[in-house]
Amino acid sequence: MSYDFNREWLIKKFEEIRGRILKAIGQLDDEQLNWRPDKTSHSISTLIKHIEGNIQERIIKGILLQEIQRNREDELKPMYIKKSELETVIQNKFQLLIDLIKSITDEKLEEKQLVRNRERTNIDMLYQCAAHYSEHMGQIFYIAKQCLKEKYKSTSL
């Protein structure tokens, strides 16, 4: 089976997610990026660190089979992160995803990884990542709109 359509779709989706997140955070300052709507909510900086952790676990460890240590609980704790660092994380981690998808073989896409005690193919995991990051992108937009009110500029294509 050829996965060319899947590769094209995933590349476009990850480019879209990266671009829209960068447009949203580009409108905010450091304080706004680290603001939480309430004590039970995450800030944009926390959401981005969580996306980074997920890429490390599902892509770097799960697909590239490189040993990494991830502490999901720590990445979800409130932390203050500068805008420039968040932009670098989004740019670099999504580029890693895009480069991987461009170069991965069909056979590697069909290989399986264990996710929460369930085997998933790498292609399934990439689609799951696209859905997961889209959900967090929506949270980022919501927080940005809360901070900017009517000054928020839509990131829609």
Q: Does domain 4-151 have CATH number 1.20.120.450?
A: yes
Q: Is residue 126 within 8 Å of 23, Cβ to Cβ?
A: no
Digitized pLDDT (tens) for each residue of the chain, 157 residues in all: 889 999 999 999 999 999 999 999 999 999 999 999 999 999 999 999 999 999 999 999 999 999 888 888 888 889 999 999 999 999 999 999 999 999 999 999 999 998 889 999 999 999 999 999 999 999 999 999 999 999 999 998 6
Count the neighbouring beta carbons within 10 Å of the beta carbon of residue 119. Answer: 9
Tell which residue, 96, 121, 83, 84, has the closest CA to residue 15: 96
According to the model, what pLDDT value does residue 157 have?
65
Position 86 scores a pLDDT of: 98
What is the CA 140 to chain-centroid distance, rounded? 11
Q: Residue 83: what pLDDT? A: 98
For 1-29, b/e burial (b = at least 16 CB within 10 A) is eebeebbeebbebbebbbebbeebbeebe
DSSP secondary structure letter of residue 61: I
> Is there a contact between 118 and 15 (Cβ–Cβ < 8 Å)?
no
